[in-house]
Amino acid sequence: MDSALIDAYRRTDYRVRLPQGGWASIHVDAPLPTLLRALVGSGCWAFLTAWNPFSQPRPRAQNHAAQHALLAALRGLPATRVLRPAIGVGEDWREPSLFVVGPSLAETDALAQQFQQNAYVHGLADGPARLRLASDQPPRGQAG
């Protein structure tokens, strides 16, 4: 994965729909927004999508089907405590996404790989949001 793509992921506005309405924006390397801290508590959280595997545009119908499969997979994980609609907004793209609290890093890694995502954003409690490279090929893990 090239550095331009990683930089684009870092500049993305990761928006989570709040239960009371409105949105809270997550930014890579910044603390979790105050409005999301009550939802997260002391748990692990992740911002995931199934749209456009490997950052390659795909037909809308295929993206919708994949996103529904991701939603079902997240609902099927016993650790899932919170699941909120979300959207990733880049410079020239938007991808429906999901914000989830509860699943472990290993579980979200597995889902990102299953849905062929290059990376996703995650964190622990109110700590900083981190970009995690999800490929099963090196380099893998935290993007530096």
Determine the pLDDT at residue 12.
Answer: 97
For residues 45 and 101, is the Cβ–Cβ distance under 8 A? yes
**Residue boundaries of the structural domains of the chain:** 3-137
pLDDT digits (tens, 9 = 90+) for 52-76: 999 999 999 999 999 999 999 999 9
pLDDT digits (tens, 9 = 90+) for 104-133: 999 999 999 999 999 999 999 989 999 999
Determine the pLDDT at residue 3.
Answer: 87
- Residue closest to 114 by CA, chosen among 47, 57, 43, 49: 49
Q: What is the pTM of this model?
A: 0.92
Tell me how far the alpha carbon of residue 57 is from its chain's centroid. 17
Question: pLDDT category, 141, cuts 50, 70, 90?
Answer: low
**141 forms bridges with which residues in the sheet?**
133
By DSSP bridging, strand 94-101 and strand 130-133 are: unpaired
